[in-house]
Amino acid sequence: MTGTHTGVRAAVRQVPGPCAHWNDDDADFIRHVLNRVGDKWSVLIVGTLEGGPLRYTELIHGIPGISQRMLTLTLKQLTQDGLVSRTAYPEVPPRVEYELTTLGRSLLSTVLDLAAWAVDNHKEIARNRQAALEDV
């Protein structure tokens, strides 16, 4: 044999940290939730709904770069998770409003802090990305 492979499986060292507190099922669910609430459109939608209910057209105009398809899909997912409520009013023309639920409001400060961090640090991150590209 060459190298350090001896045919004996090395013991995996238990690394302390936040993940040590959760079992595999919890960790899997945490990943799913973070995929949903941490994606760029969810963060921007939740942040945009901070001031109260908005109509679809107000949302699309308030979130630069979002397509109708992504807004519709993300609103549907946020509604399914109980973070956003959808209220349809029986009027002509029909009016639909979206609003943060109590659960969605509980996420708001985290989302706003994350967005503020991104704004505060975007120049440094851009410099780091450029430097990494130049090193390649």
Read off the pLDDT band of 6 (50, 70, 90): low
Task: Measure CA 19 to chain center.
Answer: 19
At the topology level of CATH, where does 22-135 sit?
Arc Repressor Mutant, subunit A (1.10.10)
pLDDT in tens, 36-88: 888 889 999 999 999 999 999 999 999 999 999 999 999 999 999 999 999 99
pLDDT of residue 4: 53
The first and second tokens of residue 104, run together, are: 């969605």
All residues at 6 or more sequence positions from 16 whose CB lies less than 8 Å from its CB, including other chains: none
Indicate if the pLDDT at residue 8 is higher than 70.
no
Question: Identity (one letter) of the amino acid at 49?
Answer: L
Domain coordinates in residue numbering, the chain: 22-135
Q: Cα–Cα–Cα angle for 60, 55, 38, nearest 5°? A: 55
Strands (E), the chain: 54-55, 84-89, 95-100
Q: Write down the pLDDT at residue 24.
A: 75
What pTM was estimated for this model as a whole?
0.76
Give the dihedral sign, CA 22/23/25/31.
positive
